[in-house]
Amino acid sequence: MYYFASTSKSFEQALKDLTKNVKAHGYSILHVHDFAEIFKTKRVVFDAKDPGFQELCQVFEVCNASQARRVMENDMRLNMALPCRISVYTENRKVKVGMLSPQKLINQLSDNAVVKEIAREVDATLRQVIDETVR
């Protein structure tokens, strides 16, 4: 269900490279959730400088509008699974980039053959994006 890879790049460099690679593959970044900032505004400690918890996490909502439209034309209920998300995060101070597999997720939610093929295509593209980001 998960697809992720580690990188020797800095967290900041992985963010920059992900942004570039998402766009290069024809996807848009709809929003970035920066959990350090979100938690800071809610007065919840989530900071690499905090000795109790030293991980970082940003979640990118990414979308190829043409693919999303095709999915919804074939099974409107799947709007709830959109957009796709790719995370850049640290785990034990190692930078990782990952996602929930769109193909595996959609295969659990729909029996529609067209939708399953779209999910396979999206999954393959986003795996490429992740692989290029961590190199």
Indicate the pLDDT class of residue 109, thresholds 50, 70 and 90.
Answer: very high
- Which of 30, 7, 15 is closest to 85 using CA atoms? 30
Give residue 28's region: left, alpha or beta (phi > 0; psi -120 to 50): beta
Q: What is the mean pLDDT of residues 48-66?
A: 84
Residue 18 CB-density burial (10 A; 0-12 exposed, 13-18 middle, 19+ buried)? buried
Q: Which pLDDT tens digit goes with each residue over 2-52?
A: 999 999 999 999 999 999 999 999 999 999 999 888 888 888 765 556 666
Residue 51's pLDDT is 60
pTM: 0.92
> What mean pLDDT do residues 48-68 have?
85
Report the chain's mean pLDDT, rounded to a whole number: 94
* CATH (residue range 2-134): 3.30.310.70
